[in-house]
Amino acid sequence: MLGDFYDVDGVHINVEVVTTRFECDLKECNGACCTMESDFGAPTGESEIREIEKILQIVKKYIPQENVEVIENSGFWYRRRDELMINSVNRRECVFSFYEGNIAKCGIEKAFRKGEIDFVKPISCHLFPIRVGKFGGDVLRFEKYSECESALKKGMDTDSKVFHFCKDALERKYGREWFLKLVELARD
């Protein structure tokens, strides 16, 4: 460990990712990560935009008509300065979100879970509440939101840490071997 960071193959992981207890509680937060008010949507990349363009017609059947209209009129992504972002509806919900009851969910992920596509969702969404910054390489940090208070409580109850909760996304981004190295460092 280097100060407040772990280092795994050049990826710096803030200690909070390893020590903070966290497990999403959709019944309490209602999928707030898909509907947070902001001028900025979820960060995405060029390759993800190309992937989403290929599957867009499939995904559209899972999202509300209002969201489809935003996509058709404004696109599903935009560039802000040098960053690519997923578009939102009314500065609030992701254009790919839909509701099951009062819980916001991802239309891309729904199509993935149904086996219709092989792209789960943008990696920044999959990694949430981990955010990836750049500083001579990737820097992972835990992003705190008041909407996630119930996830902190549930994490205490289940003894799940942020990196445990994000295991699939971390393995998707960095590989299984990398994740196992992080698990070993976290034990020390």
Based on the fold, state whether residues 136 and 176 are members of the same structural domain.
yes
pLDDT at 3: 66
Based on the fold, state whether residues 58 and 1 are members of the same structural domain.
no
The mean per-residue pLDDT over the stretch 38-49 comes to 87
Give residue for tokens 């976290």. Answer: 186
CA distance 153 to 173: 27
Is position 75 within any domain? Answer: yes
Based on the fold, state whether residues 101 and 55 are members of the same structural domain.
yes
Higher pLDDT, 56 or 187: 56
Residue 39: pLDDT over 60: yes
The mean per-residue pLDDT over the stretch 12-40 comes to 90
Nearest-Å Rg of the Cα atoms of the chain is: 17
Q: What is the mean pLDDT of the chain?
A: 93
| Domains of the chain: total | 2
Based on the fold, state whether residues 92 and 48 are members of the same structural domain.
yes
Final residue of a structural domain among 93, 119, 145: 119
Per-residue pLDDT band at 47 (split at 50, 70, 90): very high
Kindly report the pTM of this predicted structure. Answer: 0.90
Per-residue pLDDT band at 11 (split at 50, 70, 90): very high
Based on the fold, state whether residues 114 and 152 are members of the same structural domain.
no
pLDDT at 2: 60
The mean per-residue pLDDT over the stretch 58-85 comes to 94
Is position 124 within any domain? Answer: no
CB 21 within 8 A of CB 160: yes
Residue 113: pLDDT over 80: yes
The mean per-residue pLDDT over the stretch 18-47 comes to 90
Based on the fold, state whether residues 37 and 82 are members of the same structural domain.
yes
pLDDT at 1: 55
Final residue of a structural domain among 119, 146, 174: 119
Higher pLDDT, 61 or 41: 61
Based on the fold, state whether residues 100 and 47 are members of the same structural domain.
yes
Question: What are residue 29's phi and psi, to 5 degrees?
Answer: -90, -15
Residue 55: pLDDT over 60: yes
Range of the domain at 112: 30-119
Final residue of a structural domain among 119, 137, 155: 119
> Cα 113 to the chain's mean position, in Å?
16
Based on the fold, state whether residues 115 and 34 are members of the same structural domain.
yes
pLDDT at 92: 87
Residue 175: pLDDT over 80: yes
Based on the fold, state whether residues 35 and 18 are members of the same structural domain.
no
Based on the fold, state whether residues 17 and 74 are members of the same structural domain.
no
